[in-house]
Amino acid sequence: MRRYVYLLSAVTLALSACGPEAGEEAALAAEQGPVGEASQASMVMTPIPMPVAQVYQPPQPALLDLSTVRAWPARFFPSTVKSAYTVIYTFPGYPSTFYAFGFDVKNYQTVFMVRGQGTQKSAFKSEIDADLQALAYEASLGLNPGYEDGRQVDVPTPPSPTPNINDLVASAWDESKEQYMADVVQPIVYMPGAVVYLQP
């Protein structure tokens, strides 16, 4: 009881010193719970699941320079890919060099990154066409039942004043994703506490 008497006198002092509004706030605080007790209200925050866009760039393999290797790979796309997308860039300022990126968009993987001379571009495109035909044939035989699609696109140079390999990887991934996602429903990955819509 003595505790409440001290509390009321503190409220009275607050009213006289700070005005009626401060006194009302102090009185409300005094009424809400006992003073000097160890019981304090604790706030529990529960995460609310909500969609969050996640920028995703697949891990990158080493850049293969086609003009310096002795022999090209037998296949650029292995039999294990589920989708095979090739994006090729040739910069107007550097017509003698092209960059090509191969993605398995369904599996969120970069399969290859190559650089070659302009004179090698048609031979490279023929190799990719052969890979796509082989993948479609293997899928028709049931050897790769998860394979869905493959495409090869020549795209305009991405708008960057000083393009580097990382800029190209990001824009090539976006381009191949757009090609793939035009036909396939965007996947949803469930994570603890939230639903994250992956943008591969």
HEC readout, the chain: CHHHHHHHHHHHHHHHHHCHHHHHHHHHHHHHCCCCCCCCCCCCCCCCCCEEEEECCCCCCCEEECCCCCCCCCCCCCCCCCEEEEEEEEECCEEEEEEEEEEECCCCEEEEEEEEEHHHHHHHHHHHHHHHHHHHHHHHCCCCCCCCEEEEEECCCCCCCCCCHHHHHHHHHHHHHHHHHCCCCCCCEEECCEEEEEEC
- Asked whether the predicted pLDDT for residue 99 surpasses 90, the reply is yes
- Asked whether the predicted pLDDT for residue 193 surpasses 50, the reply is no
- Asked whether the predicted pLDDT for residue 10 surpasses 80, the reply is no
**Which residue would you say has higher pLDDT here, 8 or 130?**
130
Whether residues 114 and 155 share a domain: the answer is yes
In a domain, 88, yes or no: yes
Whether residues 25 and 63 share a domain: the answer is no
In a domain, 52, yes or no: no
In a domain, 65, yes or no: yes
| pLDDT at residue 68, as a whole number | 93
| pLDDT at residue 34, as a whole number | 55
Whether residues 74 and 11 share a domain: the answer is no
Whether residues 27 and 63 share a domain: the answer is no
In a domain, 79, yes or no: yes
Instruction: Name the residue range of residue 26's domain.
Output: 2-32
Whether residues 69 and 136 share a domain: the answer is yes
Whether residues 28 and 68 share a domain: the answer is no
- Asked whether the predicted pLDDT for residue 184 surpasses 90, the reply is no
Highest mean pLDDT among 13-17, 28-32, 82-86: 82-86
- Please state, for a pLDDT cut of 90, what percent of the chain lies above it: 36
Whether residues 25 and 68 share a domain: the answer is no
Full-model pTM: 0.63
Whether residues 70 and 133 share a domain: the answer is yes
In a domain, 167, yes or no: yes
In a domain, 199, yes or no: no
**Residue 177's pLDDT band (boundaries 50, 70, 90)?**
confident
**Which residue would you say has higher pLDDT here, 165 or 49?**
165
- Asked whether the predicted pLDDT for residue 72 surpasses 50, the reply is yes
- Nearby residues of 184 by Cβ (< 8 Å), 6 or more positions away: 106, 148
- Asked whether the predicted pLDDT for residue 118 surpasses 60, the reply is yes
Say how many domains are in the chain. 2
In a domain, 41, yes or no: no
| pLDDT at residue 59, as a whole number | 75
Range with the poorest average pLDDT among 20-34, 57-71, 135-149, 163-177: 20-34
In a domain, 186, yes or no: no
Whether residues 67 and 8 share a domain: the answer is no
Residue type, 112: F
The Cα–Cα gap between 116 and 97 comes to 6
- Asked whether the predicted pLDDT for residue 44 surpasses 70, the reply is no
Whether residues 82 and 120 share a domain: the answer is yes
Residue type, 114: V
